Amino acid sequence: MWEQNAAQALEEIDGVICYAENQNLGFTIPYTIKGATKRCVPDFLVRLDDGRGRSDPVNLILEVWDKRDGKIGQMKQTMAETARTLWIPAINNSGEQGTWGVIEICDPWDLVDSVRMMVATRRREEHYEVQQ
């Protein structure tokens, strides 16, 4: 149900170029939890025009989870943190697969505002970097 609500919200965001539920796509993020290496299948992959134009989109790994999910929530949170601190910097530094980001949504009804906030933050950071 959460994923269905998230898909509906993605339809409402003007900058979304396309998205796919990451089911049977083979896209996984490796992570380690309590010493065990695992692979997580993120919920969605989203291509988003973040203001740089459709020819230079940001690719988002979108993870939807309920804070009450217990072990599943902990696993998703760990995967998202690993993606944010290790996978995203590595893929972005390679320069071969475009720009990537990760966003966690704990309330699919808040997805539209969360994506808009992420885009605004990226624009401020980009502006700041250009001004330096």
What is the chain's pLDDT, residue by residue, as a tens digit (132 residues)?
A: 677 788 888 888 888 999 999 988 999 888 887 888 888 888 899 999 888 888 889 999 988 876 666 666 677 777 788 888 888 899 899 888 888 988 888 776 788 888 888 777 766 665 444 333
Q: Which domain holds residue 6?
A: 2-59+67-131
In this structure, is the dihedral angle defined by the CA atoms of residues 105, 93, 87 and 23, taken in order, positive or negative?
Answer: positive
Amino acid in the structure at residue 75:
M
Domain tally, the chain:
1
Its pTM stands at: 0.79
Tokens 């250009």, residue?
A: 130
Helices and strands, number each (H, E), in the chain: 4, 6
